[in-house]
């Protein structure tokens, strides 16, 4: 099972027909995908499950139905176990960007993280997962597939936001501040974090 986000609302792609009473379950062969996206965008549909017994066919279907933009991104830790966040479009986010021709996903993740934050000496520790979200460009829907890597750096120099990419701030955040930042972040970003980062006291506010 995985999630494709449309305006923070997940389309579930799974091998199970029934995943919850509130979900509208649609077999893969009957899906009219762009019509489905419009319904979600317009607030007409909130809980959708697209299912097929073969999990590989689910992503193959997506790639046929909508143009794909592939990206690499980093969940970066430093020696203090702080996590690197960027502030863009009024939300806390993680550095990421489009894979260039001839680059691997890992290379793109390192380059984009360096460009967007000014951080150096990045070491990739492991691949975390892929995330999926749909956006609109030039009045056409696109599917962004981001390959995320856990990274480490001992860099303790200045953090430099990349204004050309709309980045207003770059910050190292400890556990508590990261918890608060995730309350003001995107749903696909939250998928990268352990559960303890997503549990906060109801009186906490994002600073």
Do residue 106 and residue 192 come from a single domain?
A: yes
Same domain, 145 and 183: yes
Asked whether residue 27 is domain-assigned, the answer is yes
Based on the fold, state whether residues 91 and 192 are members of the same structural domain. yes
Domain annotation covers residue 203: no
Residues 99 and 149 in one domain: yes
**Same domain for 80 and 19?**
no
Task: Note down the domain range covering 43.
Answer: 2-65
Number of folded domains in the chain?
Answer: 2
Same domain, 161 and 85: yes
Domain boundary among 50, 65, 80: 65
Tens of pLDDT, residue by residue over 194-203, are: 888 987 544 4
Query: Residue 192 contacts by C-beta under 8 Å, 6 or more apart in sequence?
Result: 75, 94, 128, 129, 131, 148
Q: Give the Cα separation of 83 and 161 in Å (integer).
A: 15
- Residue keyed to tokens 């303790």: 156
- Would the pLDDT of 206 be above 70? no
* Per-residue pLDDT reduced to its tens digit, 173-196: 999 999 999 999 999 999 999 888
Assign 3-class secondary structure to 17-65. Answer: CCCCCCCEEEEHHHCCHHHHHHHHHCCCCCCEEEECCCHHHHHHHHHHH
Residues in CB range of 174: below 8 A, 6 or more apart: 80, 81, 82
Indicate whether 35 and 99 sit together in one domain.
no
Q: Is residue 204 one of the residues assigned to a domain?
A: no
For position 59, what pLDDT does the model report?
A: 87
The Cα 10–Cα 34 span in angstroms is 15
167 and 191 inside one domain: yes
Domain shared by 77 and 168, yes or no: yes
Are 176 and 111 members of one domain? yes
Q: pLDDT-based confidence at 84, cuts 50/70/90?
A: very high
Residue 37 lies in a domain: yes
Note the maximum CA span of the chain: 53
Shared domain for 83 and 48, answered yes or no, is no
Band (7; pLDDT cuts 50, 70, 90): confident
* 122-126: average pLDDT: 97
């Amino acid at each position: 099972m995985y999630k494709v986000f449309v305006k923070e609302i997940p389309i579930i792609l799974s091998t199970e027909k029934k995943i919850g009473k509130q979900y509208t379950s649609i077999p893969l062969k009957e899906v009219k995908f762009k019509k489905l996206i419009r319904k979600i965008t317009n607030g007409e549909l909130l809980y959708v499950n697209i299912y097929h017994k073969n999990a590989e066919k689910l992503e193959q279907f997506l790639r046929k139905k909508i143009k794909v933009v592939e990206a690499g991104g980093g969940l970066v830790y430093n020696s203090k176990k702080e996590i690197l966040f960027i502030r863009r479009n009024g939300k806390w986010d993680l550095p990421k960007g489009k894979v260039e021709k001839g680059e691997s996903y890992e290379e793109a993740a390192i380059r984009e993280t360096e460009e967007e934050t000014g951080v150096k000496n990045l070491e990739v520790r492991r691949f975390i997962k892929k995330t999926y979200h749909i956006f609109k460009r030039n009045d056409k829907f696109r599917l962004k597939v981001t390959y995320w890597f856990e990274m480490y750096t001992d860099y303790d120099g200045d953090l430099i936001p990349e204004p050309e990419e709309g980045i207003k701030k770059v910050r190292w955040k400890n556990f508590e501040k990261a918890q608060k930042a995730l309350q003001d972040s995107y749903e696909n970003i939250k998928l990268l974090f352990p559960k303890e980062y997503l549990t906060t006291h109801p009186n906490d506010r994002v600073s």
